[in-house]
Every structure is written in structure tokens, then in C-alpha cells.
Amino acid sequence: MRLHMRGARGMLLVGGMLLHLTMTSSVASANEELIRLAKDERNWVMQTKDYTVQRFSKLDQIDTSNVKNLQPAWSFSTGVLHGHEGGPLVVNGIMYVHSAYPNNVYAIDLEHPEKIMWEYRPKQNPAARAVACCDLVNRGLAYGDGKLILSTLDGQLIAMDAKTGKVIWNVETADVSVGQTQTQAPFVVKDKVIIGSAGAELGVRGYVTAFNLKDGKKVWRAFATGPDKDILLDKDFNKQNPHYGRFGLGLKTWEGDAWKIGGGTNWGWYAYDPKLDLIYYGSGNPAPWNETMRPGDNKWTMTMWGRNPDTGLAKYGYQKTPHDEWDYAGINYMMLTDQVINGKMTPLVTHPDRNGIIYTLNRETGSLVAADKIDPSVNWTRKVDLKTGIAIRDPEFSTRMDHKARGICPSAMGYHNQGLDSYDPRSEIFFMGVNHICMDWEPFMLPYRAGQFFVGATLSMYPGPKGYLGEVKAYDVKTNSMKWEKAEKFSVWGGTMATAGNLVFYGTLDGWFKALDSGSGEELWKFKLPSGVIGHPITYEHNGKQYVAILYGVGGWPGVGLVFDLNDPTAGLGSVGAFKELAKYTKMGGGLMVFALPEGR
Amino acid sequence: MAAQRIGLRLSIGLSLLAAASSAVAYDGTKCKEPGACWEPKPGYPARVAGSKYDPKHDPKEVAKQELAHKAMDERNEKRWKHFQETGVWKYDVK
């Protein structure tokens, strides 16, 4: 196995460990354990692989020369249908597999993958199903300090013993009677578990909460809208970029009490920099979708955050999409890289947003470094002015009452959605699974009733100008350009994984598991899985052999037509029309497929 | 002749109007203060209260999420206290 650890990243991790040694022992152990486990290619210890979210494996047993021989090694059915998002975890020789609702968990000893070591089936309120906007998905488990952490659709956060599945503590984080659910994977940082929120389509005001990993005690909660004390702003908030706005805007950029049902839920992913001691995530769309019912910039929805994990205090926040008019929920992943920008090694956070812009900030200061269009067909904004941070809007593609807007790109499903992508630190290239969907949009007035849907727009979605629904793109932030692009029939919803074997793996909605040459984008291998994929691949080494694993089971927003048997093209918040062909290629499923090279190759 | 000229003048007038309205249309660049750059679109109200787009939110409905958070926090605190006192986690707080 070749090792390609970059100096800067290695120093960053070591620096983080030294920092945490000075803290209490339990704090140090949770962090150190995760950093150590994540470096060992026998593990895949968090959904994002490690705190950088680069999702790059140093394993190279499977490479461009032999990937054509890749074949199934074993498989496992979760016994559950609906969309299977996220991926399995592998920790100390045990694989942990989660399912869609009712969010069952299975532990599998990799020495005996034919046998279920233990299982956990949460009891939950079935009413949660009726308030889930976009299928009954769950983005996976978290691990820390010997515990496995699960969030359930009805809002429980459950810590169980990773060896036995026995519940250690469980708390409530959402109330379905007011439309709150959980689909996010929890995130373990230091001695805390962080969990977001879902339900902006039901007017849920977004919040993120930290609980003690040890005993489930709530430590802090930060809202996306409202008074500064609720949003948890540091006294130096946005000091380095005052033009982003600083204090009082969580109230001032709304009319009246509209912020109380203002959305901004965060159901995507987190990253963490141990050296800067900041967590990174994005808050979602404002509610309702009808923009005319909520004048104002609607801060701090649609915001990239840098927060202290101990206090929750925000060091900076950059609002990407002020006064959203398209449901470009800003929850997509944040990826941390260190690259030379303008001749200087810079700590970066890169974030391909629903709105079609790939944002890169200096992750220490929050300053904008780059804001490039994923595709030239993005038309709601002409460009993002890097100096002011403002997206210059094209009024022709705005949405408003008494008007049917046409041909807006991207659609509400975004040019990028919840998929977790990857980055090769050797070539410094990002591999992005993207969507190519545009839309027509017409709002309508509606009342707010707690626990009921609060959308207020009718949508039709269809392929973008290139005529297909998805692509994989290799992006270089230093040159603000794509190195290569590959068309896909359907949106690449589940993200990508890159390896030192010069491969990029991803699953497709129509059920293919593919490997591309990461240098050229050339397709080198594919396998037809039982159902479509909306989760991400992982890889790990067991007994000296490299395995690649992926969940299958189509669903999520692109699958709602197929899953709930809907035919009206505007149903499923407009996704049914765009994905009407999908049912000709795949049906529901639910399981895991694990691949390896045959013996002797 | 006269009718043609009027027609011409009308069409120039309309195109000037269209140019003017797109020049003032909300493009996100005119800020009242840093971080507050929203403007009403041409023909739409700056405040929706009292307009035909008034959402008329019911304060009771709008307050329900805050009450739900408070109740969940209280139950979670009870669970945590019981755990501190007995070493046993009990989800059911009744």
C-alpha cells in the first residue's frame, strides 16, 4: 500500500491531538480515538470518512488496471424498502448497517458476514412518516467512545453500546406534531454528539443541538433564525467580513414573527477542523417556498456556518442565497482542504450548493475565495461578486406571486443535493456527483398550521439544457474549472468516493455501481445492483483485502414518484415529472453489496 | 402618418418603461445595511401585512414549536437527572 499523506494535513491532525491532550481526558479520548481510527484504512468510522470529509482512501489494491475484475463478495438485505441514504460504518472489524424508516441497525462481524451479530429495531411514532417531506430516508450512524449513535425519523437520538446494541441513553430532538423530523446522521466531535433538524417544508424553524456523548445531557442549541441569543453568535461574529452582516439580522430581515416558522433546518453534513476548533455546516431553506409571504433576506437561512463545538457560538456565517425563491436548501456537505491560493497555503472549506454555485471560503476567517458555477446553465444569478459576497440576481428567473416562472436553473432539487463527494489530495481535484435539472415554479398563498405542510408552490421539473439529468464532474478550485465531465442519464444523488487506485466510485439512481478513472473520467467498470442508489460508496481493508461497499434501495426525493406510486408530474414537490422514466429502470429495494477482487488476482 | 407616429411613440415609451423596470428590479445588490439587501419587486409591497399577500399567521399556531422544544427539553432533563441519580437510563418519564 502506497502512502500519500500530505504534510500539511498530517500536521493539522497532529496539532489537533496535541491541543486536545490539554483538555479533560474524556474529551481527549473521543477526539483522539476518532482521528486514530479514521487514519486506519481498516475502518470507515464516520459517514464523511474523517473530519475533512475528503472521503479519499489510501487503499490501492483495487486500481485502474484491475477494477474490471471487481465482483460481489457478499451481500445483505436490510429487510426494509424505501430510500437507503448514507453508507455503512466499519469500526474495529465490525460493520454497522442502518436502514430507511423504521431505522433498524445491524452489526456484522466481518469475520462472519453471513451472520447478524446483533440488531436494534427502534420503536417509533409512525406519524413521523406523514410529515417526512421526501421519502423515509436516514443518512446513517455515527460512532464515538464505544457508542453507536442513531437518529430516528420521529426525532429520537439513541446512543447504544457498539458491541452489544444495548441502549445507553436516548433523548427527544424533534416533535412530529409540529412537523419536526430527523433524517440527518449524527456527528461526534470531542465529547459531544451534534444533531440538526428537518421539516422546513412544514415551517420548522431550524436548530442544531449538542448533547454529551457520555450521558445525553443537552449542552447547547443554536437556531437559524430569530434573536442573536437564539442563533448563538460569538461577540466577534463576522468581524473579519462585516459586509456579510453581523447582529440583529435574524429578526430584522423578516417581517413580524415570520422567523418563528422560518425554516433553516440543517439535515446535511458536518466537517470539523481540530486545529481551528470549528465545526462547519449549512442551514437550509426558509419557509414557506412562497417568497411573497416572507419579505426580507430571511437570515440566517441558507448560511455556511463556522461554530465552536463546545459552546455552539458562531465565529462566522455567510448567507449564500438571501431571500431564497427556489428552495435551494443550503445543507450540502462542507469539505476541508489545504491548497495554495494566490501563492499562499490556505485552509479552505468547499461546498457545492443546491443553488448551483460551488463556494470555497477560507475556513479560518470565512472570507470568500471562490464561487464558481457547477454548470454554465445556472441562471438565477449572473455571478457571485467575491468582494461583496453578493449573488447578483437575474430578475427574469425570480419567483413571485401571480406569476409562473419558467426555465429556472437549477431546479429546487439543485445542481447538487445531499450526496457526499470526494477529493484526491494528490491531484487536488474534487469529484462531484451533480444534478442537471431545471424547473417552472408558481407560488400560491396558504396558511400555517403546526404539523401540516407549508410549501405554497407548484413545480414542474425537467432535464437541464443538455437533455439529461445528471453528471459527474472533476473540479479544480485553483483554476475555477472542470477537469473533466461525464454525463449520466439520471442525477448522481448519492455522492462519490475516491481512492489511491486512481478510481472514483459512485452509484446511480438506475442501479449502476460504477468506477471511473479519476484522471480522465473514463468508465472502467460497472455492476447492476438490485435497486437504485442514493447513498455513497465506502472502502475498507479486512485481512489484507480491499473491499468496496454500497447501500442500494432507491428513494429519496428523486424516488418519491416510484416509491409512493404518484403520476401527476407536479406531485412529489415537482420531482415526479422529472423522474418519470426511473420506474422503467429500477424498483424499490434495501440492502448492502460488498465487492472485492477475485482470489489470486 | 399621425397614427403611425403615435404607435411608434407608444412602443418607444413601452420599451423605455421595460428598461426602467428591469433597472430597478430586485437584483440583490442594493443594501440598506450590510447583510440586508432585500427589495420588493416592481409592483409588490414592501410590507405584506395589510396587503393582498398578508399571510395572516395565527400567533397560537406560530408559537407551537417553541412550546414543543420546551416540553422536550424538560423531559430530556428528567431522563438525565434520573440517570445521574440511579445510573439507569429510563426513557419513559411518566
Residue A245 has pLDDT above 50, yes or no: yes
Average pLDDT, stretch A495-512? 98
pLDDT of residue A9: 38
pLDDT of residue A12: 39
Average pLDDT, stretch B62-75? 98
Residue A143 binned pLDDT confidence (cut-offs 50, 70, 90): very high
**Backbone φ, ψ for residue A107 (5° rounding):** -105, 130
Kindly list the residues from chain A whose CB atom is less than 8 angstroms away from the CB atom of residue B36: 245, 249, 252-253, 296-297
pLDDT of residue A31: 81
Interface test with A, best of B33, B38, B51 (most A CBs within 10 A): B38
Predicted structure pTM score: 0.93
Residue A15 has pLDDT above 90, yes or no: no
- Cα dist. A160→A144, A168, A314 in Å? 10, 5, 30
pLDDT of residue B94: 81
Average pLDDT, stretch A296-302? 98
pLDDT of residue A30: 64
Nearest CA in chain B to A241: B34
pLDDT in tens, A214-230: 999 999 999 999 999 99
Residue A110 has pLDDT above 60, yes or no: yes
Residue A454 has pLDDT above 90, yes or no: yes
Residue listed under C-alpha cell 476548533: A277
Which of A21-30, A174-183, A370-379, B17-26 has the least mean pLDDT?
A21-30
* Contact predicate A369/A346, CB 8 Å: yes
Smallest CA–CA separation between A172 and chain B, in Å? Answer: 6
pLDDT of residue A601: 54
The answer to whether residue B28 neighbours chain A at the CB level (below 8 Å) is yes
* Residue numbers of A annotated as active site: 327
Name the residue facing A293 among B55, B80, B84 (closest C-beta). Answer: B55
Mean residue pLDDT of chain A comes to 95
Interface predicted TM-score (ipTM): 0.92
Within 10 Å of residue A230's Cβ, how many Cβ atoms? 18
Residue A121 has pLDDT above 50, yes or no: yes
pLDDT of residue B1: 40
Average pLDDT, stretch A343-364? 98
Burial class of residue A361 in the structure, from the number of CB atoms within 10 Å of its CB (0-12 exposed, 13-18 middle, 19+ buried): buried
Average pLDDT, stretch B53-79? 98
CA dihedral A381, A384, A385, A386 (to 10 degrees): 180
* Contact predicate A494/A515, CB 8 Å: no
**Backbone φ, ψ for residue B68 (5° rounding):** -65, -40
Domains of chain A: 44-596 (2.140.10.10)
Domains of chain B: 2-86 (4.10.160)
pLDDT over 90 percentage in chain A: 94
Interface list for B 67-86 with A (CB within 8 A): 68-69, 71-73, 75-77, 79-80, 83-84
Q: Which residues contact A269 (CB under 8 A, 6 or more apart)?
A: A47, A48, A53, A139, A185, A187, A281, A331, A332, A333, A334, A420
Mean residue pLDDT of chain B comes to 84
Nearest CA in chain B to A214: B80
pLDDT of residue A14: 38
Alpha carbons A353 and A268: distance in angstroms, whole number: 11
Dihedral over Cα of B90, B91, B93, B94: its sign: negative
Interhelix angle A7-21/A25-39, rounded to 10 degrees, is 160
Three-class secondary structure of residue A176 per DSSP:
helix
Instruction: Give the amino acid at A283.
Output: S
Average pLDDT, stretch A132-157? 97
C-alpha cell at A348: 479552505
* Contact predicate A592/A551, CB 8 Å: yes
Residue A22 binned pLDDT confidence (cut-offs 50, 70, 90): very low
Residue A120 has pLDDT above 90, yes or no: yes
Burial class of residue B10 in the structure, from the number of CB atoms within 10 Å of its CB (0-12 exposed, 13-18 middle, 19+ buried): exposed
Average pLDDT, stretch A9-34? 49
Alpha carbons A600 and A252: distance in angstroms, whole number: 67
pLDDT of residue B24: 65
Residue A175 binned pLDDT confidence (cut-offs 50, 70, 90): very high
C-alpha cell at A131: 410529515
C-alpha cell at A121: 429495531
Within 10 Å of residue A286's Cβ, how many Cβ atoms? 37
Residues in chain A: 601
pLDDT in tens, A55-101: 999 999 999 999 999 999 999 999 999 999 999 999 999 999 999 99
Residue B86 binned pLDDT confidence (cut-offs 50, 70, 90): very high
Smallest CA–CA separation between B13 and chain A, in Å? Answer: 21
pLDDT over 90 percentage in chain B: 73
pLDDT of residue A20: 38
Interface test with A, best of B29, B30, B31, B37 (most A CBs within 10 A): B37
Secondary structure of A229-259 as H, E, C letters: HHHCECCCCCCCCHHHCCCCHHHHCCCCCHH
Q: Which residues contact A234 (CB under 8 A, 6 or more apart)?
A: A308, A313, A314, A315
Q: Which residues contact A162 (CB under 8 A, 6 or more apart)?
A: A91, A94, A96, A107, A143, A146, A147, A148
Dihedral over Cα of A582, A588, A590, A596: its sign: negative
Average pLDDT, stretch A337-344? 97
A532 CB-side CA count, 13 A = 30
The H or E element that residue A486 is part of is strand A481-488
Q: Which of A185, A203, A202 is nearest to A194 (CA)?
A: A185
Kindly list the residues from chain A whose CB atom is less than 8 angstroms away from the CB atom of residue B76: 171-172, 216, 218
